[in-house]
């Protein structure tokens, strides 16, 4: 039994949801999101609550149950509050600057890295060592953050590179004389 799947997803005021053609569409103050529905799980929308139940007693249906409930919760959170990730840049001469629909990164390479900002994502740089990524789709926000971080992952000796806010970098001791 899924403990997560048992809990119904409540929709705050101003959020509407509907099921059509095997898709769940959620509309809220920040926009509209949709996700395909699995045949393994049955869905019901009743007076501001979305309930999720396995369609049969199969192992696959029970495995999808909790995941589908969490995906629905992420849709509702996205259209009401949105999601954000913060990246911190550490290193001498490493900096970032958001310019319209591109993020310009200087990461110690012989050239600047121009990262195009995808549709539906907003990138801000409060200072030149902080990058804030926000949007309504949790998966897209995380993917963009991972792609930016991939340009210069933090190294274990001095900790230089791009890291998530709150991420712990395991530090190694250098050579001894």
3-80 and 83-164: same fold?
A: yes
- Of all residues in the chain, the percent with pLDDT exceeding 90 is 79
pLDDT single digits (tens) 113-142: 999 999 999 999 999 999 999 999 999 999
Tell me, yes or no, if the pTM score tops 0.75: yes
CATH superfamily of 83-164: Ribosomal protein L6 (3.90.930.12)
DSSP 8-state class, residue 100: T
pLDDT single digits (tens) 138-150: 999 999 999 999 9
The CATH label, of 3.30.750.24, 3.40.50.300, 3.40.309.10, 3.90.930.12, for the domain at 3-80 is 3.90.930.12
The pLDDT of residue 102: 95
pLDDT class of 177 with cuts at 50, 70, 90 = confident
pLDDT single digits (tens) 101-114: 999 999 999 999 99
What is the 3-state secondary structure of 126-150?
CCCCEEEEEECCHHHHHHHHHHHHC
Domains in the chain: boundaries: 3-80, 83-164
């Amino acid at each position: 039994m899924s403990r997560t799947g048992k809990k119904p997803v409540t929709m705050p005021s101003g959020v509407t949801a509907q099921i059509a053609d095997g898709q769940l569409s959620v509309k809220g103050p920040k926009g509209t999101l949709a996700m395909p529905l699995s045949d393994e799980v049955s869905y019901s929308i009743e007076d501001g609550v979305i309930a999720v139940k396995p369609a049969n007693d199969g192992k696959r249906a029970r495995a999808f149950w909790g995941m589908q409930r969490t995906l629905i919760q992420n849709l509702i959170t996205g259209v009401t509050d949105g999601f954000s990730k913060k990246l911190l840049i550490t290193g001498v001469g490493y900096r970032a600057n958001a310019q319209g629909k591109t993020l310009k990164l200087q990461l110690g390479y012989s050239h600047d890295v121009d990262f195009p900002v995808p549709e539906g994502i907003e990138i801000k740089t409060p200072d030149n060592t902080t990058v804030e990524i926000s949007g309504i789709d949790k998966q897209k926000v995380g993917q963009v953050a991972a792609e930016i971080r991939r340009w210069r992952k933090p190294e274990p000796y001095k900790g230089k590179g791009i890291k998530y806010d709150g991420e712990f970098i395991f530090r190694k001791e250098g050579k001894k004389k």
